[in-house]
């Protein structure tokens, strides 16, 4: 089982990872970021950064969480 499949299994999701710009993104819908962080810690992924972007007009902010797992960059956008 690949690391990406292991993370999906731990989270109980069947949604596929999407590779874009060198990052594997997990579209988790309403998945809690804390649950994802717990799964990443369980796999010994290294937390890299949170990046915040202000959205146009008054739509708020977008947060991107990034982890490194054996040289593979993994991300989640909220």
Neighbouring C-alpha atoms within 13 Å toward the C-beta of 73: 11
| pLDDT(15) > 90 | no
Where are any strands of DSSP class E within 4-69? 18-20, 23-25, 46-54, 61-69
Residue 31: what pLDDT?
67
Give CA–CA dist 66/73, Å, rounded: 7
Q: Which residue, chain included where needed, has tokens 């490194």?
A: 68
Express each pLDDT in 27-73 by its tens digit.
Answer: 766 567 888 888 888 889 999 999 999 999 888 998 999 999 989 99
The whole model's pTM is what? 0.80
d(CA 31, CA 54): 22
Quick one: pLDDT at residue 52?
95
| pLDDT at residue 2 in the model | 80
* Interaxial angle between packed helices 3-11 and 33-42, expressed in degrees from 0 to 180 and rounded to the nearest 10: 130
Q: What is the pLDDT averaged over residues 3-10? A: 80
């Amino acid at each position: 089982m690949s690391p990406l499949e292991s993370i999906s299994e731990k989270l109980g999701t069947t949604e596929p990872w999407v590779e874009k710009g060198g990052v594997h993104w997990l579209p988790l819908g309403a998945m809690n970021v804390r649950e994802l962080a717990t799964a990443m810690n369980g796999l010994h992924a290294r937390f890299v950064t949170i990046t915040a972007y202000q959205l146009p007009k008054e739509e708020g902010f977008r947060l991107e969480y990034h982890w490194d797992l054996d040289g593979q960059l993994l991300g989640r956008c909220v």
